[in-house]
Amino acid sequence: MIPFSGRKSFRFAFSGLGVILIILIAVPLLRMILSADPEVMRSTIADREVMASIFLTLRCALWATIACAILGIPLAYLLARWNFPGKSLVQGLVDIPVMIPHTAAGIALLMVYGRNFFLGKTLNEIGLDFVGTETGISLAMAYVSLPFLVNAAKDGFLAIDPKLERVARTLGASPWQAFFRVSIPLAWRSILSGSIMMWARGISEFGAVIILAYHPMTAPILIWERFQAYGLKYAKPVAVLLILLCLLIFALLRWLAEPKKET
Amino acid sequence: MLRLVDISLKLGNFSLRNISFDVKRGEYVVLLGPTGTGKTVLLETIAGLYHPDSGNIYLKDLDVTRFPPETRHLGVVYQDYALFPHLTVHANIAFGLKLMGKTDRDVRNAVSKMAHFLDIDHILDRRPRLLSGGERQRVALARALILKPYMLLLDEPLSALDRLTRDRLRRELKRIHGEIGVSILHITHDLSEAFFLADRLIIMKDGAVIQEGNPEETLRHPGNRFVAELLGIENFIPAKIGPGGQVFLEGLGTSDPPLFSSEPGEKVKKIYLTIPGWAIDLFPAKDNGAYLSQVNMRVVGLNHTEAYMEIELEHERGARLSTTLSWREVTMLPTPIESGKIIKVGLLKEGTYWVPGD
């Protein structure tokens, strides 16, 4: 319990405002989950199309996260440790994808990775097709959600005293060894929680994905399609299933990333 | 062991200017300077964490100026010790040995030997977060010493500690130095730490070395007022040098022209007489030639601490002096000292020196 001293009115006002927000978040989720008919849920789980689409979504978001971790962690480290000309520009660029409408991001991606642009055309010729493929879905997810990973990793590195890395160097560590034996172990919690955020954001992505790949259908698109074609009754079970699955996975990962109390 | 030749480096707000000095094998050198004078940057430059803009660094006669830190074989201990928080004390100490690819058994043996030497056997399984300041410092020393470095570079290693621990650990540093014989470059802004430990003192100001020598000699002959103040001398009496070489003390009445062991040059017209507190004799004996001068001064301030009494004195012509007496000395005074009283004060020739006026 955090010691909390002060006027009752202050505490009351803040608690009240906080509770309102919690209700706003929780009620729609609870209402949706509680109203699910067990019978319909069972048949939804048995629905091959639904399960395939959910797994496709989880898989594509995971690939996007892994790819961005490999490219993004070094960038995050650079941003945390080095000053270079144009650093704030780079930082701004990393943040842009969360600022722009995601359908717009999808269109921008299509213009580069579609077959009408040399890059998309060249990649297509070597067998990398982005339109209507899993690769395309991963790309769209990665583009709009990478800031979560890069920024979290950067904050993680910033929280490490650079002296720790310097001392490691004087103890005989190469820059690589210092990075992998000191920086990464100290920042991994931030990196993991950033990755979870990025993965979650990737799974929920709709706007950018639908422009690059309507098919194969990710879960958010499937939900939208069923809502359009058959109405709320048919969209709901898929949505409930996706929400439950996500909550489960994220609870697990959060628990992993949580600092454990030392005995 | 270590030789710096004309090192210059500009780094943000800090700059090092033409720094040259050496540290001999087995020597304990203390680099003394006020905070913010670039001491840490210099130490990190020696360690290879920065490359100087110009100048050369030699280690064992090898030019290592452009060598990366991991090849220099120097042990660094920072003020806050920079222990790896994710590793146990054992793993902290073993860090360097593991990088060298030593077997687990060798590592364990070496760590337990080092832990025994520094009396930290009982904390090997703990995390740094749970250690006291003194324990952290021993762990940081163990982590560096276990690699048998050419030299130890200590960056204010005692500043973060409480006084009792500090006093204990500086004796410990002396013991380590004595037993292992490792060359040490220790930077600090703490005067008593410097005198306690140093074989040789190097004094730095604004990124440059301004004086070096053995501690007693440096204290006796500070090169200028800054050094004298850094060395804890509080009393500066302005003086003029007459055409015949006589010295006229301003603010302290007339005085015989004193002779100095080294005379100010012809060009120096204005000097400060520096008088360490211990060279001020209250109720002096009859002048037998030991005194530069004996004057009457008024007690204008008495300040007490747990260990000593500080006495502020003022001459009718304006000069001010301060000195301290231990409580034991206070009880041995012929008459008690009270504020406002005028007493006779002798300035001992021994200890009194001059520095050029600005």
Read off the pTM: 0.84
What burial class does residue A70 get, using C-beta atoms within 10 Å of its C-beta: 0-12 exposed, 13-18 middle, 19+ buried?
Answer: exposed
Q: Are B95 and B75 in contact (CB under 8 A)?
A: no
Rounded CA-CA distance B59/A45 in Å is 71
| Chain A (158-197) residues lying within 8 Å, Cβ to Cβ, of chain B | 161, 163-164, 166-174, 177, 181-182, 185-186
Total residues found in chain B within this entry: 358
Segment 204-263 of chain A within 8 Å of chain B by CB: 262
Counting as low any pLDDT under 70, the low residues of chain B are 242-246, 253-269, 358
Rounded to whole angstroms, how far apart are CA atoms B211 and B224? 9
Phi, psi at residue B10, to the nearest 5°?
-115, 130
Query: What is the third-level CATH fold of B2-220?
Result: Rossmann fold (3.40.50)
- C-alpha distances (whole Å) from B175 to each of A18, A227, B170 are 60, 80, 9
DSSP-derived secondary structure letter, B341: -
Reading the block at residue B317, the tokens are 């012509």
Tokens 């701004």 found at = A92
- Report the alpha-carbon distance of residue B12 to residue B10 in Å, rounded: 7
Q: C-alpha angle A256/A261/A263, rounded to 5°?
A: 130
Q: For chain A, list residues with pLDDT below 50.
A: 1, 263
List, in order, residues 6 or more apart from B346 with CB less than 8 Å away. Answer: B280, B281, B282, B284, B285, B287, B290, B291, B293, B294
Q: What is the pLDDT of residue B196?
A: 92
The model's pLDDT over B95-106, given as tens digits with 9 standing for 90+, comes to 999 999 999 999
Q: Which residue of A has its CA nearest to B47?
A: A170
Q: What is the pLDDT of residues A157-196, one digit of tens each?
A: 999 999 999 999 999 999 999 999 999 999 999 999 899 9
CATH of domain B233-356: 2.40.50.100
Q: Is residue B250 classed exposed, middle or buried when 0-12, 13-18 and 19+ CB atoms within 10 A define those classes?
A: middle
The distance of B287 to chain A (nearest Cα, Å) reads 58
Go through chain A and tell me how many residues it has.
263
Residues in B touching A171 (Cβ below 8 Å):
70, 95-96, 99, 143-144, 147
The predicted structure's pLDDT at residue B264: 60
Type of residue found at B275:
I
pLDDT at B270: 75
* pLDDT score at B159: 87
End-to-end Cα distance, chain B: 37
**Contact criterion met (CB below 8 Å) for B345 and B295:** yes
- Report the alpha-carbon distance of residue B61 to residue B59 in Å, rounded: 5
Q: E strands, chain B, where?
A: 2-11, 14-23, 28-32, 54-59, 62-63, 74-77, 151-155, 183-188, 200-205, 208-213, 235-241, 247-249, 270-275, 280-282, 291-304, 308-314, 320-326, 342-348, 353-356
Note the helical H segments in chain A.
8-34, 38-46, 48-81, 87-99, 102-113, 118-125, 134-158, 162-170, 175-178, 184-204, 207-212, 219-230, 232-257
Comparing alpha-carbon positions, the chain B residue that sits nearest to A174 is B70
B233-356 and B2-220 share a CATH fold: no
Closest by Cα among B143, B60, B39 to B96: B143
B82–A166 CB contact, under 8 Å? yes
B206-244 b/e (C-beta count within 10 Å ≥ 16 → b): ebbbbbbbebeebbbbbebbbbbebbebbbbbbbebeee
**Separation between Cα atoms, residue B277 and residue B234, nearest integer Å:** 8
Residues 6+ apart with CB under 8 A from B87: B95, B127, B128
Is the bond into A216 cis (omega within 30 degrees of 0)? yes
Q: Residue A177: closest CA among chain B residues belongs to which residue?
A: B99
Residues of chain B in contact with residue A170, where contact means CB-CB under 8 angstroms, are: 47-49, 69-70, 72, 74-76, 144
Q: Which residue has the tokens 């698109």?
A: A221
Q: Give the domain ranges of chain B.
A: 2-220, 233-356
The 3 state secondary structure assigned to B146-188 is CCCCCEEEEECCCCCCCHHHHHHHHHHHHHHHHHHCCEEEEEE
Between strands B247-249 and B270-275, the pairing is: unpaired
ipTM of the complex: 0.82
